[in-house]
Amino acid sequence: MALIELEAVTKEYQLGRTTVRALRGVNLQVERGEFTTVAGASGSGKSTLLNLIGCLDTPSAGRILINGKSSGAMRERQLDQFRLRTIGFIFQSFNLIPVLSVAENVELPLLITKEVSAAERKKRVAHFVDAVGLGTMGGRKPDELSGGQRQRVAVARALVTKPEIVLADEPTANLDSKTGMEIIDLMHEICRRESTTFLFSTHDPKLMQRADRIVHLQDGVVAGEERR
């Protein structure tokens, strides 16, 4: 059984009187531990696809199964818990909390996880801050960091709950190409080391080449796939 399964997923938006079909019957399977990119031009449906997989939105038609569970059957509280435990997010604009330090930002998802003790929390935060190469910067505030460093913090925050899936929507869009490449390499390395499934979107051909699998989206449909 694939970790992520999309069955004929369609997503429509209402923009005034116009109905926008962002996804049109998408079928997709992602296996555990894959490092996959969703590639396509702006407006091709990449973000919509990631939002649906991340349980941030619901499909207009079709089914999304994660670990065999349909996200459509979950209530809001269950979805919150599901996101907390199963999915890590890396945002294009980093979305760090400015008043918190690097370590505190990384710790943020763990604060509402009852199963993790304070000692374990501290240990995990230190581990992941170290893993993204910011071991000496745990006490710094986001505005004291470069863009690349901020995105590293976001990567650590996405991983700290040890999720099965990490979703990253254009994680390098606000970074220069060298730093962007470093972030993708870091994600890839962690994917291998932690056996975490990564799914990220990009329209940068150079970054696509770093993925094990490329899913091409065009006008809301899967236009092709490449495995590397």
Partner 1 sequence: MSIIFLPWRNVRANPGRSAALGVFIAISGMLLVLAHAFLGTITGNMERSLIDSLTGDLQARAGSSQEADMFSLRREWDKLPPLTAAQASMAEQAFAQAAPGATLARRVRSTVLLANGGLQDFGMLIGLDPAGREYQQAMTILQGRGLDPSRPGEILISQSQAENLQVKVGDQITVMVPGAGAGTGGPITATVAGIGEISLLSMFDTFYNYTDLGAAQQLLGYGDGQVTDVIAFLPPGQDAAALAPVVQGRASSDVRMTTREGMGGFILGGIALYGAMFYGFVAVLALIVGLLIMNLITMVGVERRREIGTLRALGYSRRTIVGLFLGEIAVTGTLFGALGVLAGIAVARVLAGTTLHPSPPLDFIMGKAFVLQVEPADALLPFGLIVLFTCLAAVWPAYRAASLRPVELMAES
Contact positions toward partner 1, by CB under 8 A? Answer: 47, 51, 54, 56-57, 76-77, 80-85, 89, 91-93, 95, 97-100, 104, 107-109, 111-112, 157, 169
Residue appearing with tokens 């099965």: 164
Closest C-alpha among 175, 170, 173 to residue 147:
175
Minimal distance, residue 71 CB to partner 1, in Å: 13
Q: Shortest distance, CB of residue 217 to partner 1, whole angstroms?
A: 16
Cβ atoms within 10 Å, residue 142: 19
Select 160 or 215, whichever has its Cβ closest to partner 1.
160
Q: Which is nearer to partner 1, 35 or 94 (CB)?
A: 94
Q: SS3 letters for 133-177?
A: CCCCCCCCCHHHCCHHHHHHHHHHHHHCCCCCEEEEECCCCCCCH
DSSP label of 112? G
Give the nearest distance from C-beta 54 to partner 1 in angstroms: 7
Q: From the CB of 9, what's the least distance to partner 1, in Å?
A: 15
Q: How many CB atoms lie within 10 A of CB 119?
A: 8
Residue closer to partner 1 (CB basis): 1 or 15: 15
DSSP 127: H
Nearer to partner 1, 47 or 149 (CB): 47
Closest CA relative to residue 62, chosen from 29, 25, 30: 25
Cβ proximity to partner 1, 148 vs 171, nearer residue: 171
The stretches of the chain forming alpha helices (DSSP H) are 46-53, 76-86, 102-107, 118-131, 147-159, 177-194, 205-208
